[in-house]
Structure 1
């Protein structure tokens, strides 16, 4: 497969992943599926890991990856023009932007999972009653969150999706960095050239 076509496949795969991250970040503004005051929303939600990191910043590599597609892959063989090679080299920089964006989302999600959600506890106080992820395997401790209803599972599941999706995005962008390097060194159709008569 040509490196441009492979980059397009990566770009297409990144689109639904970015949409998932944006939706998860939006849903986190409604803990437990309910509307609460802004100061009752977990602070890590305001870091916009899904919206900014895995969402907005991922737009740039996606657009570049989709634009690298070459309709006539084998037509570039023997072409001395450096245009396509430069484009593949440039894609490495945008893939790095994707790695940084997804990495930011992964870090925010990891911290949020470790800290736990902001919730209503005894005494009608809003606070984060957990520390160092001690609630992850302790259902009894989770009961210290009195509201909003199901806020712990809501927080944990959405940030877990952001974490896993961010890791997947990082992997795809890292693959494109390698693909872009190969495309820059070998050309768009490295190892796959045909003569004009159709013979290999």
Structure 2
């Protein structure tokens, strides 16, 4: 496969992941499928890790990767290969942007999972809103989940969605890192111009 073809495959994969991350982040605003006061929503949801990091910021690299396969740049000084090399080099920059965005989502999700959700729980003799869990102690103890009285199923809701964001953010980082390496090969060798890219002819 040519460097441009590989980039297109990565772009095709990144786009649906960006959409899924955006949807997951939006669902976190409705814990347990309920509409609650904005002050009672877990803080990390407002950091928009899935919407901005793995969503909006990921769209640009994905579109760039998709366009590399059909890049028809006339090149520089009449050299088409030079233009393709520059396009591959540009993809490295966008891959770096993708890594930053996905990394942001990954970190926010990891912090949210460790911290636990914001919920209403019994504190001494009064019900209060806050974070009853500490340092991820609830992750391996499902019996502790009943500590949260409201919203209903908030723990499993946040745990599932933030886990999905964590996994998808990790996958996005890996895919962007692969394109950074692929782009480096394309920059040095040209798209389908030498054996290091696995190609034997021009695109």
TM-score, normalised by the number of residues in structure 2: 0.89
SS in 1 for 2:147: coil
User: Which one of 108, 132, 149 corresponds to residue 129 of structure 1?
Assistant: 132
SS in 2 for 1:82: helix
SS in 1 for 2:120: strand
Number of aligned residue pairs: give it: 189
Distance 2:141 2:118 in 1: 17
Note the residue ranges of structure 2 that are not aligned, 5 or more in a row. 73-78
Q: Name the structure 2 match of 1:198.
A: none
Q: Name the structure 2 match of 1:27.
A: 27
User: Which one of 191, 197, 200 corresponds to residue 193 of structure 1?
Assistant: 200
Correspondence 1:161-200 to 2 at 5 A: 161-189=164-192, 190-191=194-195, 192-193=199-200
Measure how far apart 1:99 and its partner are. 0.2
Correspondence 1:38-117 to 2 at 5 A: 38-70=38-70, 81-117=81-117
User: Which one of 143, 150, 153 corresponds to residue 150 of structure 1?
Assistant: 153
Calculate the aligned-residue CA RMSD, in Å.
1.5
Measure how far apart 1:156 and its partner are. 0.3
- Runs of 4+ deviating beyond 6 Å: none
Distance 1:125-1:69 versus aligned 2 partners, 3 A rule: same
Measure how far apart 1:142 and its partner are. 1.4
Note the residue ranges of structure 1 that are not aligned, 5 or more in a row. 73-78, 196-200
SS in 2 for 1:143: helix
Measure how far apart 1:112 and its partner are. 0.1
